[in-house]
Amino acid sequence: AQSVTQLGSHVSVSEGALVLLRCNYSSSVPPYLFWYVQYPNQGLQLLLKYTTGATLVKGINGFEAEFKKSETSFHLTKPSAHMSDAAEYFCAVTSLSGAGSYQLTFGKGTKLSVIP
């Protein structure tokens, strides 16, 4: 069964500091990996995704993530945090249902706070 672990339900960083949100996964199918962001009172928005090819993936708003197969990780980083980055972030991995359909398994989320 597929699973996603996000280390740290809450992360606080100072404005301008490095953002690092951790995600580890387990998957029995080739892992396709996603990071989503949720701003207060909104739905989820895709930040970036890894499918195949280059393991360093760049997304919107200056975020990037690196797929490391040997570590089963897909950590999200941003060099310099901005106040507008305060949100909840979800890591997700493709999973295969019993009927053979693809769906996403999400982590529990990490709430990012940015301190001025």
Q: How far apart are CA 50 and CA 96, in angstroms?
A: 17
Hey, what are 90's tokens? 């979800």
For the bound state, the minimum distance from the C-beta of residue 77 to another protein, rounded and expressed in Å, comes to 20
For the bound state, the minimum distance from the C-beta of residue 54 to another protein, rounded and expressed in Å, comes to 14
Dihedral sign of CA atoms 77, 79, 80, 82 in order: negative
Task: Specify the DSSP class assigned to residue 4.
Answer: E
* Site residues, another protein (CB under 8 A): 9, 29-30, 32, 34, 36, 41-46, 49, 51, 90, 94, 96-97, 99, 101-104, 106-109
CB nearer another protein, residue 77 or residue 105: 105
On the 0-12 / 13-18 / 19+ scale of CB atoms within 10 A, 86 is: middle
CB nearer another protein, residue 17 or residue 26: 26
Q: How far apart are CA 114 and CA 102, in angstroms?
A: 35
CB nearer another protein, residue 40 or residue 116: 40
CB nearer another protein, residue 14 or residue 61: 61
